[in-house]
């Protein structure tokens, strides 16, 4: 199969993660285009489809970090944390005296479910619902696997600010999954 | 008491330890609270499940995607 066709096969997949991480359609398109340029400039032979995909995802992660760095000013313009509903979320989860408003549910031991496509779809929908700034830093941790130190450096954030963003993102994600996955009526 | 934490504070510590190492005093306060509290160990298990879930997702999201 010509390389163009092979790349086309992976386009939708790469775009999905670029969008999720960058939260900007044009940047995501740019990132994937750059990945394809890199692939065409340095055609290598890949033993199979999955090897090419692995290589493409690796390049995509690098391109995405480049874009986040270049756009860091725009990336954290909306990032002072006010007006992102953080206080409302706290009030939903905790009472004024610091106790849980309701007992955290038993999520069981969902070993198998955590590997299902359905679960990943819900998880990605929940990540997508995070405020953009929170979603970006959360995925920089969880998808790009950057250290907090590196994220602060790339985006020019203080560690205090980053920890607040990550705290809210994780608490919100827990709420979203509790509501849309773990707390859903049992299906067979 | 200097080691006493509310559930809200403990939940914040359980979230924070996903991203940074907690100081010894906070780790101690966390342990003390967890043995005495009903709700927080459940929250702690949820956070572990989340960590596990993100690990599975990362795998699913490549680059170490399983062969197709």
pLDDT, one tens digit per residue, over A4-19 is 888 899 999 999 999 9
Count of domains for chain B: 1
Q: Is residue B2 part of a domain?
A: no
B63 close to A (CB below 8 A): yes
pTM: 0.89
A65/A147 same-domain check? no
Residues 6+ positions from A50 with CB-CB distance below 8 Å? B65, B66, B67, B68
Q: Is residue A125 part of a domain?
A: yes
What's residue A42's pLDDT?
74
pLDDT value for B65? 47
Do the domain assignments include residue B1? no
CA distances, A142 to each of A40, A73, A147, B57 (Å): 29, 22, 10, 9
Answer for the pair A123, B53: CB distance below 8 angstroms, yes or no.
Answer: yes
Count of structural domains, chain A: 2
Range of the domain at A52: 3-70
Interface size between A and B, measured as CB pairs under 8 A: 101
CB contacts under 8 A, B 30-59 vs A, are 38-39, 42-43, 45-47, 49-50, 52-54, 56-58
In whole angstroms, give the CA distance from residue B30 to residue B35: 9
Kindly tell me if the per-residue pLDDT of B52 is higher than 90: yes
Per-residue confidence (pLDDT) for residue B64, from 0 to 100: 47
Coil vs helix vs strand at B30: helix
Domain edge (last residue) among A70, A105, A125? A70
Residue B68 belongs to a domain: no
Please check whether residue A158 touches B, CB under 8 A: no
Same domain, A51 and A91: no
Q: What is the ipTM of this complex?
A: 0.90
Residue A44 token pair: 């290598």
Which residues lie below 8 Å from residue A113, measured CB to CB, with a gap of 6+?
A119, A181
Same domain, A94 and A110: yes
In a domain? residue B50: yes
Confidence of residue B67 (pLDDT cuts 50, 70, 90): very low
**A145 domain-assigned:** yes
Residue B26 lies in a domain: yes
- Dump pLDDT digits (tens) for A67-107: 999 998 887 655 555 567 778 888 889 999 999 999 999 99
Mean pLDDT of chain A: 89
- Comparing A127 with A48, which gets the higher pLDDT? A127
Max Cα distance, chain A (Å): 64
A128 plus A97 within the same structural domain: yes
Closest residue by Cα to residue A55 from B5, B38, B64, B32: B64
Matching residue, tokens 């953009």? A132
């Amino acid at each position: 199969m010509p390389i163009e066709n092979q790349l086309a096969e992976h386009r939708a997949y790469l775009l999905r993660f670029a969008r999720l991480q960058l939260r900007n359609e044009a940047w995501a398109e740019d990132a994937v285009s750059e990945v394809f340029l890199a692939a065409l400039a340095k055609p290598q032979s890949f033993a199979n489809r999955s090897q090419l995909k692995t290589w493409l995802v690796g390049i995509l992660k690098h391109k995405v970090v480049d874009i986040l760095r270049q756009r860091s000013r725009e990336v954290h313009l909306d990032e002072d944390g006010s007006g992102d509903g953080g206080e409302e979320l706290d009030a939903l989860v905790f009472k004024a005296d610091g106790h849980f408003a309701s007992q955290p549910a038993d999520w069981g031991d969902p070993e198998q479910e955590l590997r299902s496509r359905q679960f990943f779809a819900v998880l990605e929908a929940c990540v997508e619902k995070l405020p953009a700034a929170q979603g970006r830093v959360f995925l920089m941790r969880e998808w790009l696997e950057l250290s907090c130190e590196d994220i602060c450096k790339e985006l020019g954030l203080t560690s205090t600010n980053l920890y607040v963003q990550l705290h809210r993102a994780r608490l919100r994600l827990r709420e979203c999954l509790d509501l849309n996955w773990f707390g859903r009526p049992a299906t067979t | 008491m200097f080691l006493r934490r509310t559930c809200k504070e403990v939940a914040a510590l359980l979230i924070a330890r996903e991203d940074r190492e907690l100081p010894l005093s906070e780790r101690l306060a966390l342990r003390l609270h967890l043995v005495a509290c009903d709700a927080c160990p459940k929250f702690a298990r949820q956070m572990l499940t989340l960590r596990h879930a993100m690990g599975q997702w990362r795998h699913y999201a490549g680059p170490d995607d399983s062969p197709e």
